[in-house]
Amino acid sequence: MLCNQCPRQCNALRTKSGNVGGVCGMPELPTVARAALHFWEEPCISGKNGSGTVFFSGCSLHCVFCQNDDISAKNKGKTISVNELVDIFKSLEAQGAHNINLVTPTHFVDSIIAALDIYKPSIPIVYNSSGYESVDTLKKLQGYVDIYLMDFKYIDDSKARLYSNATDYANVCKNALFEAYRQQNEFVFCDDIMQKGLIVRHLLLPAATRDAIAVFDWVRENIPNAYFSIMSQYLPLGKAADMPVINRRVTAREYNKVTDYILDSGFLNCYIQERSSADKNFIPNFDFTGIL
């Protein structure tokens, strides 16, 4: 296939096992690095049993601070067939997962849809994305995805360019969120576990409290039913360690400024991650666990 699946519009040749020139660097067939129960998502996603995460390799965004850069930038992963992806879904469901959580799935949407056409699990399908999505690709997922767990990383184009080389990120992400909300605007829970809905995530970066507040305000004004999740797990990893401004952790003062603003707003559909989450121990081990 010549791939234009995401906003990078590479028009790159992707074969079953290779990729010539595409930013994500991934073949057409799904490539995965871990499939296991995961307990560190929002409480309505992880619950007591865990979220059935499938960590896909490769990424179209390549943030300089990515904590998963072993799989997103260095492309560690095993290429599998669609039927093997089906078997992974079945295994996670049998382990008692509350949902199937597709992490960084954008470049494998066609294989994911093919797998779900073969077998649709009885638990919700979570699309866990960077927010750098084309609306046309998201439209293909209507009827397949139950929960959109979508980042809104940057509202400032200069930061999007500097940290992800994606100057168009904010507009692209806003349109992606509108499409996700068009598909999932009824919020359904069962025993505190989300069954349908949209959660917008924002990772608080160093020296970016105004950005975080602007993202929160945008979500509240434009998709007011959506849940908002402020994440504080930022660590200066990868290339970020050498970049001025972001080569440090978020301070307590920055964290408190943003969380106080959110709490004072009275907005209730909100998750606030504790500062102690900024710890390398929370980074998953990409050791091919669960890859059958």
Shorter beta-carbon distance to ligand SF4: residue 114 or 231: 114
Residues 188, 180: Cα–Cα separation, whole Å: 15
Least distance between ligand SF4 and beta carbon 203 (Å)? 21
Tell me which amino acid residue 234 is.
Answer: Y
The answer for residues whose C-beta is within 8 angstroms of residue 246's C-beta and 6 or more apart is: 64, 65, 163, 205, 206, 207, 236, 240
Any idea what the Cα angle at residue 77 is, between residues 58 and 108, rounded to 5°? Answer: 45
Residues 119, 204: Cα–Cα separation, whole Å: 37
Query: What string marks each residue from 105 to 124 as x (binds ligand SF4 by CB under 6 A) or -?
Result: --x-----------------
Q: What residue is closest to ligand SF4 based on CB?
A: 22
Stretches 4-12, 175-183, 236-244, 248-256: which one binds ligand SF4 (CB under 6 A)? 4-12
Shorter beta-carbon distance to ligand SF4: residue 3 or 102: 3
Regarding 4 and contact with ligand SF4 (CB under 6 A), the answer is: yes
Stretches 7-15, 48-56, 71-79, 165-173: which one binds ligand SF4 (CB under 6 A)? 7-15
Residues 175, 169: Cα–Cα separation, whole Å: 10
Regarding 23 and contact with ligand SF4 (CB under 6 A), the answer is: yes
**DSSP classification of residue 233:** -
Interaction site with ligand SF4 (CB under 6 A): 3-6, 8-10, 12, 14, 22-24, 60, 107
